[in-house]
Structure 1
Amino acid sequence: MLKTSLLSSAAVLAFSTTMGIAQETFALDEIIVSGGLSPIAAQEYGRSVSVVTAQEIQDRGISTVVDALRALPGVSVSSAGSGFVQVRMRGGEARHTLVLLDGVQLAGGEGEYTFSGLQTTNIERIEVLRGPQSVVYGSNATTGVINIITRKGTVGKTYDGTFEVGGATAGSVFLSRRDERGGISLSLSRRSDPSFDQSGDGGERDKLDRLTAVLSGDYLVTDTLKLGFVLRRSKEYFDFDATNFAATDADSYIVDDTTLMGHSKEVIGSVFAEYAMLEGRLVHRLAYERTENKARRDGAPQTQTDADVVKYRLSYGLDGNTVAEADHLLNVMLETHADSSPMTPLYERSSKSVAVEYRARLSGGLDFQAGVRHDDNDLFEDATTWNVALSYLVPNTDIRLHSSMGTGVLNPSYFSLYANAFGYTGNPDLDPERNKSFDIGAEFPVLQGRGTVDVTYFDETLTDEISPVSLGGGAFTYGNQTGDSTRKGVEIAGNLQATDAVALRMSYTYLNAKNPDGSVEIRRPRHELSLGATVETFGGRGQVAVDLRHVSGNYDTQFFGTYETAELPAYTTVDVATEYEVNDTYTLTARVTNLFKDEAVDVWGYGSPDRAAYVGFRANF
């Protein structure tokens, strides 16, 4: 504990001394696409958000979405093998985080999204919204939203690709054609990763292979009508090891002498139409979204979950300006949402929702957002959620204050409602989980805009958390916990352009997450620190990026022996990436992950990837 505190304090002090801490680990673009019922300018947005851009992904040699998320404040990643990776935000459960691709949910039905081998190839940006987002996105957006926005291309023709070998073999192709009115794009990517032995005993590697295709297009049919679509299909095959519940220690918990296999298929699609009236003061948007997930593990019956969503949004400039320029904007959304599973007729439910959002750009540098949503559910209690947010630019300074409050809701899962397998019996009388949150922060630019510091305090309270309940004799059901689960903490993040050639970045999260009985929540580290630097080399034709990540104060239950909850060992990993621009067409790349071979264990019994090296190239035609 003392070592971690000294390390984090030293990192913050070092950045403060050079006066170079920025609002987020990654610089915010001008518009936050996912921030509300319609996009919003970053400086006007009062809620906590991080944006990872394609340029930052490229510069740091990040190959998976999970690795892009690890360095963000308020985000915790845990891995129980290459095929099961969970992401938690602000101490919530993984199921409390809604994951989207181009605004469409990646997980069908009500389940959480398991990231595993999701690649960063041909991603334009990743927006991470912390705190309840249920007003905009409904159930599952209880503690935050991750929206992965794919690349669409620029005006003209684009042809490029990447290839990499080493610790894994990966390749991608991107094609697009656009003009001033719109265009179409296609991206293909494949990654074959021999991965590592999940047991950590140096046995057979548990492989992972993923193939993804994304086709998207949009076109301004008339000056007032825009049509568009997105279609994505992904297949993944992975190996995993069996677990031994009769084990007495971590070394014997994962059985590495038998390799089990699983596969998953993901299909999402959306079509939309936008129509502007009254010279742009009134805009209608109608969209249909479809998600299908299929999965099978070790010859077990295939599971399938689907989701169908229809959304209508009306945006109106209350002050007579266009929707894009309005100082007072009203958004109204109507939504129908249906979940189902063709494999199990009981797994069906639907809801009808209405949401209203008001935004005001006031004089004196004050921006205000407020929203409310009501969900009419067919199976269980209806829900009403709300949020408010403020952003204030202090006059005659570049200091920005921001704060938000709100509520989120998570509907019970199919399994917790209707389970009749693996010793579990469902409970159809479960209530939805509810989260109440507030945060407050300040952003302080320094060094004439070369750096800023942002510090945010957050406080979240989860009520009616759904957990397994023992019935004795190895039988279980589910119930709503009595009391509140509390999550409090501080997020610090920043960057600094130290010199024309050297850029620095950092983030630090302190989290105190407790169950209603006062026990610590598992797989939520108390301390997470990330430090990074990018240095231009070869006269600007190349660069080197170094990223360090330290994790400590992480607890997990040992699902063996006496089932004790104990603290996992702290770890520090270092990644290095470099690139060199040979000419306008080709760029050579190389990187090394986990340079010093530290054992980065997030779950008791599961090993972590060893050091791995990669070389490759990018080609832009």
Structure 2
Amino acid sequence: MFRIRVAWLCRAISLSLAVCTPLLAQSSAAVSGCVEDSTRAAIPGAMVILTSSDRPARFQAQTDEKGCFSLGNVRFGKYQLRILAEAFSPFEKDLVVEDAVRLDTVVLEIRPVRDTVLVTATRTPTSSVALGSSVDVIDRAQINASEIRTTADLLRNIGSLTVLRTGNAGGITTIFLRGGESDYTKILIDGIPVNQPGGVYDFAHIPTDNIDRIEIVRGPQSAVFGSDAITGVVQVFTRPGASSPEAEYSIEGGNFGTFQQRAALRGSWKKFDAANTFSRLDTDNIGRNNDYRNASYFGNFGFTPDSRRVLRATLLHVSTRAGAPGVNAPGFTSFGPNDHTQRLERAGGLTYRALVGSHLTQHLAYRLYDHDYAYFSAFGPSYVAHTRHRAEYHGDVAFLAAGTFSYGIDFDRENATVANKRRSRDDTGYYVQHQVEAWKRLDITAGVRVEDNTAFGTSTSPRLAISFRLRPDTRLRFSAGKGIKEPNFIENFSENRFFLGNPDLLAERSRSWEAGIEQSLWRDRITADLTWFDNRFRNLIELVRQPDGSSRYQNIGRTLARGLELRTRARVRQISFQSNYTYLDGHIQQSNQASFPFRSGDPLLRRPRHSADFTVAWSEPKWKAYWSSRFIGRRADSDFFTFRMPGFLTSNPGYTASDASFTYEFLRRISAFVRIENIFDRDYQEVLGYQALGRGVAVGTRVRLGGEK
């Protein structure tokens, strides 16, 4: 009897499976398609998210090396499809799945004036309209139209960001964001931190031919990036391999003895892609012992085994030599007519990204940055060297109704040579972040990071950002947070009695907030953004005179930097326009110094109260034209040589400078270009005592083989 029942039970199960299997198959299907840009080039690595409108269900994938994706076992019903790719506008579409869905090729548009996808603001791909922070993106189309040669010159047309160069090409170039110090902005190249530990980054030497885009995020970002991100983050993304093999060579020459050559090889094969860029620049600048030589290489390599995993490597090598004549403006005396510098910058990064199921994305990365600097003078050579090893783990968990929860850990081993002694310190950062959207109007991002540093101990940096779409064309923004910056190695370990290091220094800190409104007009063709920001910096590190006549670094300073930003963006057909105006109210609140420009109440050094710029770019199939102008107002400054003399200078006059370029494709894949810098031959000094170049004209040609037309 028992055997008969078992036999009948087995037959019943078999019959049920035979009947239910086709029914289940009929109630689910696959959704697939391919993603391209406007040139019909495939976009690999784009995030594809399918969310059910009827039930708690979510499917996620990423495009493969051909830009294609497939989502299987999708139950019948209504869904919203969203595709996110870095530097492109988000794509959204409502779908009804009643059978297998094969989408027409999805074409993602290059950044409009309002909405684009960024990675830097949250370390995850996020639409800019969901961010509470003020952001900017410089894309490849802008770089091509401008024909600008260096990354620093690209950043000159970013609101509230001041670029200062000591004299001519190759001179030390630093940036000041929202009134912060020159070492308050985190600089990344493909995720690799390139700041000196606790210090500045010299932007003079990075060429633009290898850059895919630059993302600028304002405000304290220490909640996700840790030390040095007090006033913001600037991240440079290098160009990946092209979908079709291509080779490019350009040559240009101009006045001041300028000659430059650039070559690039990009392409893909099966699951691999690669991009290699080589550049060589030689220029004499103005005056004796002011020549500059730059040889650079950038490599970007990718491997995409399937639609769920990506492995990417980055390499860079920049070698420079620059004469260092010292101050060279009329009326100033140079103290180093035969000095020169040599600089070697090397970096590498390896990143692995994997999609686990439909909800978890994991990132593993290793970064290396090595910097050697030598200064040769009549008193003998001096050397500065530092190395940073960095390991990262980052995870994103996507919830259907609760947004995206991110978590991670970063470990840095920093090494430097100070006073001929090898020094090292470790930094470990633990962070969490939650992004949530409510009512399709409100986006909230909240996060906190705990930093454990062998130099200054433990520190906590929270951050909150809110974006509220009041109407489809009106958005309100607010963000607030804290930032930190570790001491540099000189401040910790120097043995020179005139600037003795202090191993007990605390981290410099900030407390900041911003509020803004963004208004779009004419179907998002025009966007205006008004922002008020307020930064309070404390624990500033300064030299304090000791009773024995020596000077030692201590935490005593406080400064205030607040102001207003007005940004306008417009794009009409082939013409794009942008303008920026920044008002900055900044001064020292607390200091032990008794002389200008470091006394309490003194304005912040080299940061103008008023600054503005505008650019216009016109792109047609056969030609491109570009114009930019910038105004920098009067600012506090000193050459630090004549400050003890009667009537010494305490300010630097304002100036206006304009640049332009024109490119024409006179044969298929062969083009010629001309670039004019300082068109009206203005006489000015970005840093007091260092004369800027007069009118510069460069003419060149570019040959391109293969690739997408």
How high is the TM-score relative to the length of structure 1?
A: 0.88
1:582-616 residue CA offsets vs partner (Å, 9 max, x unmatched) = 13301110011001111231222111111110001
1:518-533 equivalence runs, <5 A: 518-533=601-616
1:561-600 equivalence runs, <5 A: 561-563=642-644, 566-600=650-684
What secondary structure, in the 3-state scheme, does the structure 1 residue paired with 2:492 have? helix
Q: How far has the Cα of 1:463 moved from its partner?
A: 0.9
Q: Is the 8 A contact 1:108 1:339 kept in 2?
A: no
Q: Is the 8 A contact 1:26 1:51 kept in 2?
A: no
Match of 2:362 in 1: 284
CA distance, structure 2, for counterparts of residue 432 and residue 117 of structure 1: 29
What is the root-mean-square deviation of aligned Cα atoms in Å? Answer: 2.3
What secondary structure, in the 3-state scheme, does the structure 1 residue paired with 2:372 have? strand
Question: Which of these residues, 274, 278, 302, is aligned with residue 188 of structure 1?
Answer: 278
1:388-537 equivalence runs, <5 A: 388-395=464-471, 397-421=472-496, 423-471=498-546, 475-482=550-557, 484-497=558-571, 500=573, 502-516=575-589, 517-535=600-618
1:237-272 residue CA offsets vs partner (Å, 9 max, x unmatched) = 11112469xxxx97234347x231111111111112
Change (3 A) 1:216 1:364: closer
CA distance, structure 2, for counterparts of residue 240 and residue 571 of structure 1: 25
More relative contact order in 1 or in 2 (CA 8 Å, sep 6+)? 1
Aligned residues: 574
Question: Which of these residues, 179, 190, 198, is aligned with residue 102 of structure 1?
Answer: 190
CA distance, structure 2, for counterparts of residue 302 and residue 428 of structure 1: 21
CA distance, structure 1, for counterparts of residue 272 and residue 626 of structure 2: 35
What secondary structure, in the 3-state scheme, does the structure 2 residue paired with 1:241 have? coil
Write out the 4+ residue segments of structure 1 that deviate beyond 6 Å after TM superposition.
none
Question: Which of these residues, 321, 344, 347, is aligned with residue 268 of structure 1?
Answer: 347
What secondary structure, in the 3-state scheme, does the structure 1 residue paired with 2:141 have? helix
Once the two structures are aligned, what percentage of the paired residues are identical? Answer: 24
Match of 1:609 in 2: 693
Q: How far has the Cα of 1:472 moved from its partner?
A: 7.2
Select the structure of larger CA radius of gyration. Answer: 2
Q: Is the 8 A contact 1:159 1:620 kept in 2?
A: yes
Match of 1:171 in 2: 261
CA distance, structure 1, for counterparts of residue 549 and residue 671 of structure 2: 58
1:548-582 residue CA offsets vs partner (Å, 9 max, x unmatched) = 11111211124123355612111111112111111
Which stretch of structure 1 is more off in the superposition, 179-188 or 205-214? Answer: 179-188
Match of 2:229 in 1: 141
Match of 2:66 in 1: none
Match of 1:358 in 2: 434
Q: How far has the Cα of 1:108 moved from its partner?
A: 4.4
Change (3 A) 1:224 1:164: same
Match of 2:371 in 1: 293
Q: Is the 8 A contact 1:107 1:291 kept in 2?
A: no
1:193-227 residue CA offsets vs partner (Å, 9 max, x unmatched) = 2223xxxxxx3251111111112212122443322
Match of 2:424 in 1: 348
CA distance, structure 2, for counterparts of residue 29 and residue 398 of structure 1: 12
1:199-278 equivalence runs, <5 A: 203-204=287-288, 206-242=290-326, 251-255=331-335, 258-278=337-357
What secondary structure, in the 3-state scheme, does the structure 2 residue paired with 1:421 have? coil
Match of 1:333 in 2: 408
CA distance, structure 2, for counterparts of residue 474 and residue 266 of structure 1: 37
What secondary structure, in the 3-state scheme, does the structure 2 residue paired with 1:73 have? coil
Question: Which of these residues, 112, 117, 141, is aligned with residue 200 of structure 2?
Answer: 112
Q: Partner amino acid for 1:488?
A: R
Q: How far has the Cα of 1:452 moved from its partner?
A: 1.3
CA distance, structure 1, for counterparts of residue 113 and residue 542 of structure 2: 38
Change (3 A) 1:235 1:49: same
What secondary structure, in the 3-state scheme, does the structure 2 residue paired with 1:415 have? helix
Match of 1:549 in 2: 630
1:496-534 residue CA offsets vs partner (Å, 9 max, x unmatched) = 33x545433211111111111221010111111112223
Match of 1:14 in 2: none
CA distance, structure 1, for counterparts of residue 417 and residue 500 of structure 2: 21
Structure 1: 5+ residue runs without aligned partners? 1-24, 197-202, 321-326
Q: Is the 8 A contact 2:564 2:583 kept in 1?
A: yes
CA distance, structure 2, for counterparts of residue 29 and residue 234 of structure 1: 34
Which stretch of structure 1 is more off in the superposition, 150-159 or 341-350? Answer: 341-350
Q: How far has the Cα of 1:404 moved from its partner?
A: 0.9
What secondary structure, in the 3-state scheme, does the structure 2 residue paired with 1:347 have? strand
CA distance, structure 1, for counterparts of residue 509 and residue 493 of structure 2: 21
Change (3 A) 1:502 1:223: closer
1:61-140 equivalence runs, <5 A: 61-81=147-167, 82-140=170-228
Q: Is the 8 A contact 1:242 1:259 kept in 2?
A: no
Match of 2:396 in 1: 315
Question: Which of these residues, 220, 240, 247, is aligned with residue 159 of structure 1?
Answer: 247
